[in-house]
A and B are shown apart, each in its own frame.
Chain A
């Protein structure tokens, strides 16, 4: 996994609430192999007309925001389906950080496991970032994971955000959590043995 430490870059203002994972990646693209890249499927049906041409009014299609790796949206971003492909689509399109007042729980976990930092900020802070990015699409936003802060260019006071210590550690180090679990291999083996003795009837009854 690619580590996330700091990022100073422009942001895309997406004034939409309840952007579910079906909108991020419509279901019919879920069968695509990852090796092809998922970037073209990101927001496919919001981004494109029926004939496949890009809608100029959708913010992600505007030339000024093409290189921005930070997406700033309204509440309940990534709710709905657990499809990790929604994160693949964002990551393959170059997004490294998503900021919103709230996230779908599964999406938030999926994002962090793919090196995409989910940041929760209050709506007041998000309104300010939207205003900044709309006034000047090139204005940079500085995200610092170690410090847990997001700062608008030329402002002294950053916004602080909370993040789970474990998620932070994995993101900073770019570490896969299976490696971490294997550190506890002995504890896991011992638990498994003991559990089997305590709940023998919990094994599926027949093994046909």
Chain B
């Protein structure tokens, strides 16, 4: 009788080059995505005089530092311009295919990888960026690595890893109207904590997960890292295959048939055992927003700012007090009374075509009342949105329609939330200073962010019709 394996175990085994007695495993890496931040790793490789082993499996994409306005003029800050140039020259020197600033397929690495069909079921994919977990939506084992590991992959196309533990998160039931993948993943993080999945690879399953589109699955897997997970993955199915078919780097012809046949086996076997299990009822998830400085500080939009006095544990009380102090919020305030200064719709979490459609849906025939930026996840998403007329909905509502990149998600390209301002953001991290020094971030879905843009405060998108 054959063993019952989880999806993760199947991929792990197929990629094991060698394993030491102590459990450390050398894993073969199928795809390696680089961005401007990979310069430390290229430096290290160059200093050691080592070549890139498999440039054909390595792809470079400019995203973190690219300007979102007046792109043809290049980056205005010389240090930022240098970062973009370094990626260009490191790619050219090592024979790596580059999707640079001017490439029609440039965009955020975690949006472009899937879009080009580089991300495929069953592969191992790494990138020097924690949100590499996004690619797990295709049933790949995908995780973020640091600069030392990036140079190791460049040199050897492999990586030493200790086998992580497995966690299955099963979400059954049907998500309610206007409740999106973003609300679901925020609710999961609130439930298990920002380090709730530390040391684990998460496999998402259940009827609510199966019903999600690829875009929505990517949003869920993207924020696995905000739950501390090493990776997040969803077994591939017909939704996955249909989405991938015909993409530039996807297999074609007989190769496609062989690939799909092999991909059909990529699911957890009946009876596969996980180290941990968590269950959630999808129907119970409400539109969710964060109030504090950790993604675990998430509540239903109908809730109130929590009161630290109700917290018995002294350490936790102090943490809550600090978060409220930074966020300038008073305990007991209804979340829908929180006034915001600006809105950012973008990032590898929520800037795919479906995200832009749902934001545009809310903004149709409405006006924004606070500065609102819409930054598509890739240049291809931008073209698609323009073909559908979404850009005109955004601009008619008074929002800015910009070029693709990471932008205000991490503020590395200079797009920052000014100090003390409060931003309703579709990104993934509400850390102190993430969007700029002193910036206050409230994470939410694209539809919720659009609703906030209309009213100028945190708003339950289910009720926007009543209030607008």
Contact = CB atoms under 8 A, between A and B. Distances in A.
Contact of A82 (B80, B145, B155): B145
Interface string A82-125: 11110100000000000000111111011001100000000000
B50 interface: yes
B130 A80 contact: yes
A149 B64 CA distance: 41
Interface string A1-33: 000000000000001111010110011101110
Interface of A: 15-18, 20, 22-23, 26-28, 30-32, 34, 45-46, 50, 74-76, 79-85, 87, 102-107, 109-110, 113-114, 164-166, 177-178, 180-182, 184, 187-188, 191-192, 195, 199-208
B331 interface: no
Q: Which 10 pairs of residues, A with B, have the shortest CB-CB distance?
A: A110-B146, A165-B22, A201-B255, A84-B147, A113-B148, A76-B195, A166-B24, A84-B146, A201-B251, A82-B144
A204 B145 contact: no
A178 B156 CA distance: 8
B308 to A, nearest CB: 14
Nearest to B37: A30
Contacts of B228: 76, 79, 104-105
Nearest to A195: B28
B98 to A, nearest CB: 12
A205 B129 contact: no
B255 A45 contact: no
A26 B18 CA distance: 38
Contacts of A180: 160
Contacts, number: 187
Given A17-B319, A82-B129, A113-B148, A22 B251 contact: no
A81 B149 CA distance: 14
Interface stretch (B179-187, B264-272, B382-390, B425-433): B425-433
B160 A204 contact: no
A181 B20 contact: no
A45 B146 contact: no
Given A191-B17, A201-B256, A84 B148 contact: yes
Contacts of A46: 432
A188 B315 contact: no
Given A23-B432, A27-B412, A202 B30 contact: yes
Nearest to A170: B160
Given A105-B199, A191-B17, A28 B411 contact: yes
Given A102-B198, A178-B151, A187-B17, A34 B40 contact: yes
Given A102-B198, A113-B148, A201-B255, A192 B157 contact: yes
A32 B293 CA distance: 26
6 contacts: A18-B293, A45-B433, A105-B199, A181-B160, A187-B18, A206-B248
B343 interface: no
B28 A203 contact: no
Contacts of B293: 18
A18 B18 contact: no
B206 interface: no
Nearest to B156: A181
A170 B61 CA distance: 32
Interface string B256-294: 101100100000000000000000000000000000011
Contact of A204 (B57, B82, B152, B431): B57
Contacts of A17: 315, 319
B118 interface: yes
A188 to B, nearest CB: 6
Given A31-B79, A202-B30, 10 more contacts: A26-B433, A30-B412, A80-B429, A80-B431, A82-B145, A84-B40, A109-B145, A109-B149, A205-B248, A207-B56
A203 B128 CA distance: 21
Contacts of B18: 184, 187-188, 191
